[in-house]
């Protein structure tokens, strides 16, 4: 009998942290230039993964480099490029496999699309008036 069916999956723990360091202030016409170092640690059952890297932004252009390491082997170098325009951001990344699977996998592409709600003036006004529920406040 397979005991995993009745127990379900092991809990997954995730810790993510980072900061944004402003290199050059922006204005109404130009976004600030920044560097944003980050890390992501994931643990589920016997598996552990650590991603470390940084993003950099210059005006509306964003680029980043990450390194993904599972605790059993080095896994991938990740390259990312994208742009921000108004409330929208879009990026493309490429996972370059550096493990023993490098010859077989060929790497992976990923496309990401995002909406930056805090950049929308109407939503900022509603938040100031209290028309939007700030669910994060319950953790403060």
Confidence (pLDDT) at 124: 66
Confidence (pLDDT) at 140: 45
Q: Measuring CA to CA, how many Å separate 71 from each of 46, 47, 53, 74, 78?
A: 10, 8, 17, 8, 17
pLDDT tens digits, residue range 34-81?
Answer: 999 999 999 999 999 999 999 999 988 999 999 988 887 777 899 999
Name the CA dihedral angle for 86, 53, 98, 62, rounded to a multiple of 10 degrees: 20
For residue 130, the Cα-to-chain-centroid distance in whole angstroms is: 29
Q: Of 6 and 29, which is predicted with more confidence?
A: 29
User: By percentage, how much of the chain surpasses pLDDT 90?
Assistant: 41
Confidence (pLDDT) at 73: 75
Torsion sign across C-alpha atoms 36, 86, 26, 118: negative
> How confident is the model over 80-102, as a mean pLDDT?
84
Query: Which residue in 119, 67, 56 sits closest to 97, CA to CA?
Result: 67
Confidence (pLDDT) at 87: 81
């Amino acid at each position: 009998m397979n005991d995993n069916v009745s127990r379900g999956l092991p809990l997954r723990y995730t810790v993510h942290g980072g900061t944004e360091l402003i290199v050059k202030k922006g204005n109404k016409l130009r976004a600030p230039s920044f560097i944003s170092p980050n890390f992501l640690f994931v643990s589920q059952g016997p598996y552990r993964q650590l991603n470390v890297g940084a993003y950099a932004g210059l005006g509306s252009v964003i680029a980043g480099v990450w390194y993904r390491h599972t605790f059993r082997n080095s896994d991938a170098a990740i390259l990312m490029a994208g742009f921000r325009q108004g409330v929208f951001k879009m990026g493309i990344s490429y996972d370059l496999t550096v493990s023993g699977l490098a010859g077989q996998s060929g790497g992976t592409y990923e496309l990401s699309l995002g909406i930056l709600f805090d950049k929308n003036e109407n939503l900022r006004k509603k938040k100031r008036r209290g028309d939007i529920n700030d669910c994060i406040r319950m953790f403060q």
